[in-house]
Chain A
Amino acid sequence: MYRFNPYRDQLVIQKLSDHFPDVVQFHERSSDMLCVTVGNEFIHDLLLFLRNDADLQFNFLTTLCGMHYPETNQLGVVYHLHSFVNNHRIRIKTATDQEQATVPTITTIWPAANWMEREAYDFFGIIFDGHPNLKRILNMDDMTDFPLRKDFPLEDQTREDKDDSMFGR
């Protein structure tokens, strides 16, 4: 099991509050690790700071994935960072408007983000500003939909023989 590390979490909170006042929110929402929410225009600077800071040293981008929040009409990106030096993980979230979904790329910080950002573009339509090769990766090139958005139907909507209304989603 992942061990919660309040000391290191507190250090991250303090450092980020000093360097990015008013743009960073912290919340732990029944979560297994510290979760930080930040505006999409600051995400590149914040991640670069987290990687380069001598005390924090988040040197490893574990994963990056897109999110869709249909109730607020927003698209989001969730980053998981891991500091091998301190064995500390944090989660960073950012959200952007669905019509103008633009997030700065972090391929300049971690080249590993290249395909992960392409995947998020492919499935959610999030434009990563400054990405070297932003095109679809797993789906075919001439697809026009973004299939992981909640409004994209999983099943054939013309079928009439199934009634899922009794079974939740």
Chain B
Amino acid sequence: MAQQFNTGYWAKDIVSSEEHKEYNILNVGPTHPATHGVFQNVMLMDGEFIVETEQTIGYIHRAFEKIAERRPFYQITPLTDRLNYCSSPLNNMGWHMTVEKLLGIETSKRVDYLRIIVMELARIADHLICNSVIGVDSGALTGFTYLFQSREFIYEIYEEICGSRLTTNMGRIGGFERNFSDKAWDKIRYFLKTYPAHLQEFENLLSRNRIFMDRTINVGAFPADRALAYGFTGPNLRACGVDYDVRVMNPYCSYEDFDFIIPIGQNGDTYDRFMVRQEEMKQSLHIIQQALDKLDKIPDKETFYAADPRFVLPPKEKVYNNMEALIWHFKIVMGETDIPVGEVYHSIEAANGELGFYLVSDGGRTPSRLHFRRPCFIYYQAYPEMVTGNMLSDAVLTMSSMNVIAGELDA
């Protein structure tokens, strides 16, 4: 029988129950090698089983919603980079499309397809990190090192398109800052050719691996009705068997032109989340291939921003030699573009689910209020319900398979 400590320094850490059990309090985090970010969980443990857990979040809160109230619209793009920093271009494009919706800017098909290529590359990069990290947390480091070459290659494509890698600040409101270079096209085509084999190699290592299946099947399972009540979106909801995808439900950016499958799981456990992400990467490759084919059919190879360039900086040589271009450049940089009064909600299917921007404009140079619907923040609150009764090692896997990104969680 366990010894009872009732007095002294230890008393507050040990909760004794009627059955002469002894509970311990375990602090997982704020910085812990198994959490991949700054998360704290204070867990009440019965041996290795979790009885109760309480989360503390906000360690990297940066007040983006407040800062956005002082920034002109194009200066908010770098803030969105830092939400889900594993797939910054998705956030950038989502923000640009929100402003375009407010301003009523129509983009051409070519711009939409270019955006779709970038967004699907970002989705692959995000899912790739999540899935390889599930492998790492279950003890298989090898797949992680294999796939990171591909992520590096995607970052090289970003670099070719916009010049930066992690926090991309890619594109402009209305399109892109420059056309894709020939080198960028070569790299995208090379990636499409080589990545399926890498992905298959990674999948062969894990998907039918007995150890991996034993570690992940029925771990952190969550029923579909609870997932809906908790506001799950994205791969986590689809793993529970609900085929909700913003790309299909409310198509934006010409996604209605594309033919792809929404993979769903059954049990909503870690294995299903892994497999859904795995399949989504293949579908993303399929979408990129379709976008390339469609772009080949479009004779115009030069348009990379909307016909309404209210936020697209004019080319530098024009700025130096042409009065109107100089004035226009100045107005954009100083945030003097006319903004209508109104409010819009725009959501995109980001890598973790529905990333929404609720933008209220009072006609000023900055938003009067900007609210981010961050998918991580909403579904991470179900974590205690998912891990209670499970073992600590399963809780680690559950967290990594939910793909909770600290930047998105804390805004």
Contact = CB atoms under 8 A, between A and B. Distances in A.
B196 interface: no
A147 interface: yes
A103 B175 CA distance: 41
A1 B231 contact: no
Interface stretch (A7-15, A37-45, A109-117): A109-117
A101 B298 CA distance: 56
A29 B342 CA distance: 7
Contacts of A148: 65-66
Interface residues of A, number: 42
Contact of B66 (A2, A31, A60, A154): A154
B70 A67 contact: no
Interface string A137-169: 111100000011000101100000000000111
Contacts of B67: 154
Contacts of A100: none
Contact of A61 (B231, B242, B343): B231
A63 B353 CA distance: 13
A61 B228 CA distance: 9
Q: Which of B67, B334, B343, B410 has the most CB of A within 10 A?
A: B343
B354 A62 contact: yes
A87 B381 contact: no
Given A29-B342, A115-B378, A168-B364, A139 B69 contact: no
Interface residues of B, number: 46
A167 B334 contact: yes
Contacts of B369: 67-68
Interface string B25-66: 000000000000000000000000000000001100101011
A134 interface: no
Given A67-B360, A80-B356, A89-B250, 15 more contacts: A1-B101, A29-B342, A32-B345, A60-B231, A78-B371, A80-B373, A84-B242, A87-B249, A110-B231, A112-B231, A137-B57, A137-B58, A138-B410, A148-B66, A168-B364
17 contacts: A3-B250, A29-B342, A30-B340, A62-B231, A62-B345, A62-B354, A87-B250, A89-B345, A111-B381, A112-B230, A112-B378, A112-B381, A115-B381, A147-B63, A147-B66, A152-B66, A167-B365
Interface of B: 57-58, 61, 63, 65-67, 69-70, 101, 228-231, 242, 244, 249-252, 334-335, 340-347, 354, 356, 358, 360, 364-366, 369, 371, 373, 377-378, 381-382, 410-411
